[in-house]
Each structure stands twice: as C-alpha cells, then as structure tokens.
Amino acid sequence: MLYSVKELLLLSAAALVIDWVVGDPKWPTHPVIWIGRLIRRLEKLLAPERRKENPLAVRLLGILLTVITLAVSFGVMWAVIWTADYVHPWLGYAVSAWFISTTIAVKGLKEAAMLVYEPLIAGKLDEARKYVGYIVGRDTAKLDEGETSRAAVETVAENTVDALVSPFLFALLGGAPLAMLYRAANTLDSMVGYRNEQYRYFGWFSARTDDVLNYIPARLTGGLLALSAIFHRGMEPGRALRSIVTFARRHPSPNSGIPESAVAGALGIELGGMNVYFGVPSERARMGWPQRPLQPRDIVSSVRLLYSVSLILFAGVIAAWFVVR
C-alpha cells in the first residue's frame, strides 16, 4: 500500500475538511484514547518507580516505551489501511482520510477555546477557569480575566503546531500511518514528558522525540501565522515576524515559543509571565510588545489565526495537486 504524491495531497486535504465539519466525535472511540491506554499499560508494565536508584535503567525503559508506542501506532494504522485498501481502493481512501482527520484537531481546539471565551464575556469567571483548566497544566483557581484569556490564547497558539501543522505535514509525507505515529509521539509527551521527579528520566526520550518531530513544523507555523495576520484587520504580520526573532528563543521549549511569540506579535499583546504549577510559582518567558491588556476577544482572534493557517494549508495542497504530475 503506497500512495502517490497526488493521492497523499488529496487525502490530507480531505482529512482537513472532515475535521472542519466533524471535529472529534465521541463515537467511535478516538484513536488518541487507545494510544493513551497503551501508554499507561506499558508504563505500568515497565514500572520505572522500582528503578529510581538507576537513572540509566529508567532512561532505557523510557526509550523502550517510546519505541513500542510508536511502532504499535504506526503498525496498527498501516494494517488497517492495508486491509481497507485490499477490500477496495476507495475504501482505503475513505479510511485513510478519516484516520488522518483524527490526528488533526482544528475544530476541537476552537471548541475548547470557545468554552473559555463564552463564560468570560458572560461574566462567569469561575466557569471560564474550570474550562481553561481542562486545556492547560497550570493552576487556574485564582486566575483573573486577563490571565484566563492568556492561558487560552497560549494553548491555541502552541497547539496550532501540535493539532494542525505537524500532523498535516506527516500525513503529506506518509499518510495515516505516519500521521498517527506523530500523534502517538505527541501523546507520549503530554503524558510522560515532564521534568518532575516521576518522569525526569522515564519521559526524557518521549519529550525529545516530540521536540524533534515538531522542529520543522513549528518554524513553518511561525511563518504561516505571520502570513495569516495579513488577512485580519488590526493584526500585524511584520510585528509577528519580529516577535519570533526577538522572543521565541527565550521560551524553555525549542518549539512552543515560535507560535506563541508569533501570535503575541500579531495581536499586539504579551504572552508568558507568572504561572503556578501545583502551588509553585514559575516565571515563564514574556513574549511580545503589549500594545494593550489581554482581553477575552484575543481568544477569538487566536482561533481566527488557527483557521487561517488551516485554510492556507488546504489551498496550498490543492494548488500543489494541480502542479504535481
């Protein structure tokens, strides 16, 4: 089962349309949920807590966790697509497009952001804090309106890479199996890629793998966000690019600072600042030149940039389809 470049272009475009329309349905069970269950079972089986006295052993177990998870995710997806394609090529196309769409989460990210935005504009800060707590790792109980808005904007900005550009690019390169491998790597990072006592050694390889896979997509996303700003009144693409150059390297992540600084520059706001994790304050790199305070409407603006990036990608692959022979 090898798809041509033109087939991969159309499958990726179709998957993006499916995500725009359908999003992440609750049924059937989302592949990421199955990947998460696999990770938890492997983590329990490998039992790294028993080997804390040997960091090297725990690191090797973490490598094993990553390799098995990626191999199973890729292999199962390849087998499903091969079987569907064997039954009928058009079934293979349909199954491929569907599973690629499950690795993309434009609509889901928008819906999560709007669940924060709508209570904010209605004056229901406690409800907004609850929903933003579903999508960020920081403590949210004491966030004010501006900090709640910042948390949502940062999440949309960062996940423009993870939930859109990266899986889309891997789908273009290798269809549903490679896109699912990326999604597995990203899920590993979100579950074990922490620098705390529990996962410092066990999750380091998962975190580094996610960094490597996102390296090029993150930089492409920065340019796409700046380009997207051209199409929205009040946003400045030039300032977005300058913000990337000035601030992105200050972020502790080699990739997350790029989309966050791009959005900060485009909107004329400041992202980053003081966050609290499990009761411990942590000053994060500040990005952007604040022209005004953060407001709930900045959440909507970040979502508009997200959708604009997805439209540019869609238009790009359709144009490429006509060019490629």
Please determine, for residue 47, whether its predicted confidence score (pLDDT) is greater than 80. no
242 to 224, 238, 309: CA distances (angstroms): 14, 6, 19
pTM for the full predicted model: 0.95
Q: Read off the pLDDT of residues 168-216 as tens digits, 9 standing for 90 and up.
A: 999 999 999 999 999 999 999 999 998 888 888 999 999 999 999 999 9
Does residue 161 sit within a domain?
yes
Please determine, for residue 254, whether its predicted confidence score (pLDDT) is greater than 70. yes
The region of weakest confidence among 18-32, 99-113, 227-241, 262-276 is 18-32
pLDDT given for residue 25 in this prediction: 78
pLDDT given for residue 147 in this prediction: 95
Q: What would the mean pLDDT of 222-230 be, rounded to a whole number?
A: 98
Does residue 270 sit within a domain?
no
Domain span including residue 14: 5-215+296-323
The region of weakest confidence among 45-49, 135-139, 213-217 is 45-49
Does residue 233 sit within a domain?
no
Please determine, for residue 49, whether its predicted confidence score (pLDDT) is greater than 80. no
Share of the chain above pLDDT 70, in %: 97
Confidence category of residue 282, pLDDT binned at 50, 70, 90: confident
The count of structural domains within the chain is: 1
Residue 240, classed as helix, strand or coil, is helix
- Distance of alpha carbon 80 from alpha carbon 91, whole angstroms: 11
Does residue 227 sit within a domain?
no
pLDDT given for residue 198 in this prediction: 83
Confidence category of residue 325, pLDDT binned at 50, 70, 90: confident
pLDDT given for residue 151 in this prediction: 96
Q: Which amino acid is at 195?
A: R
Q: What would the mean pLDDT of 157-168 be, rounded to a whole number?
A: 98
Please determine, for residue 50, whether its predicted confidence score (pLDDT) is greater than 80. no
Does residue 157 sit within a domain?
yes
Residues 6+ positions from 199 with CB-CB distance below 8 Å: 192, 193
The total of other beta-carbon atoms located within 10 Å of residue 250's CB is 13
Q: Taking a C-beta distance cutoff of 8 angstroms, is the pair 71, 41 a contact?
A: no
Confidence category of residue 233, pLDDT binned at 50, 70, 90: very high
244 to 47, 147, 159, 210, 270: CA distances (angstroms): 41, 22, 16, 21, 13
Does residue 224 sit within a domain?
no
Does residue 181 sit within a domain?
yes
Q: What would the mean pLDDT of 59-88 be, rounded to a whole number?
A: 97
- Distance of alpha carbon 15 from alpha carbon 170, whole angstroms: 13
The pair of three-digit structure tokens given for residue 197, joined into one six-digit string = 């006592």
pLDDT given for residue 83 in this prediction: 97
Q: What would the mean pLDDT of 286-311 be, rounded to a whole number?
A: 97
Confidence category of residue 28, pLDDT binned at 50, 70, 90: confident
Residue position matching structure tokens 């409800």: 127
pLDDT given for residue 227 in this prediction: 98
